[in-house]
Amino acid sequence: MFAIIGILVVLGAVIGGFLMEHGPIRVLIQPSEAIIICGAALGTLLVANPLHTLKEVVNGILQVLKGSKFTKKRYLDSLKMMYDMFNKIRRDGPNSVENDIEEPSKSKFFTAFPGFVKDHHVRDFVCDTMRMVLMGGVEPFDVDQMIEADMDVHSHESEQSVSALSSVADSLPGLGIVAAVLGVVMTMSALGGPPEEIGKKVAAALVGTFLGILLCYGFIGPIAANLAKLAHEEHEYLHVLRVTMIAFMKGTSPLLAVEMGRRSVPAHLRPSFSEFEKHCKQSGAAAASSEAAPAAEAAPASS
């Protein structure tokens, strides 16, 4: 959301300042220059990156426009999920969550946390790790090494999409110059014409340079920077899950394991202990009422 606001601010400031100088807005409308710059930028992106990186770039841009998904509520829900799962394992044994871990998309337990089920990477990250817990005989240190390797691979993939978008941003000023040079070529070919026609062609050439620089520093560059921050936020989120699961594997109680995870949450998103406790009680009350409703409806039918 803030990314969209920022884009509107950039457009408003640039166009508004131009209008304040009594500049004719129609001069900035140069479709041919935009096609040269944007088309060439898209071409460089296609040439320099494989298909999976292109998909990550598109998904990353959409995520930037929607805003970060790693909010305080997301952390609260995740900690609540881990706490409930650990308690279930302690109370009913590891086999009680085996089916949930094997098929999380069909699990009644995980469906209470839709954000977790929809995020395929996080879902696989947690379930693959918890399989090691259910297997037994695996040292927490070895599991921690596997988690670290998983996080490093995902971080590297995120860096590739950020690097691809940053490369496009860096190329835009140069592509703007290319468009401007082509405009100058057209201007030179019209030197024998009326001065008004030459002036329009020079203006169109300069708009090419303007568009290249504006797209670089006003849009694509900031989006790439935001995408890098989102990748870092996801790494921090995975680190919280990592700390929580490893603490439980070491024999720590569910409450203490989740508390260790809560202490690992970034300070600006970290819920207080009372907030976490309140969230658990509210979620528990909601679950109890949802379970009681079908029973209340079935009672008159049986009578």
Quick: pLDDT tens for 47-72.
Answer: 999 999 999 999 999 999 888 889 99
* Residue spans of beta strands (DSSP E) within 67-127: none
pTM: 0.83
Residue 201 pLDDT > 60, yes or no?
yes
3-state secondary structure 13-70: HHHHHHHHCCCCHHHHCCHHHHHHHHHHHHHHHHHHCCHHHHHHHHHHHHHHHHCCCC
The pLDDT tens digits for 214-245 are 999 999 999 999 999 999 999 999 999 999 99
For residue 13, how many other CB atoms are within 10 A of its CB? 11
**Looking at residue 54, what is its pLDDT?**
92
Going from N- to C-terminal start, the domains of the chain cover 32-269
Distance of alpha carbon 21 from alpha carbon 8, whole angstroms:
20
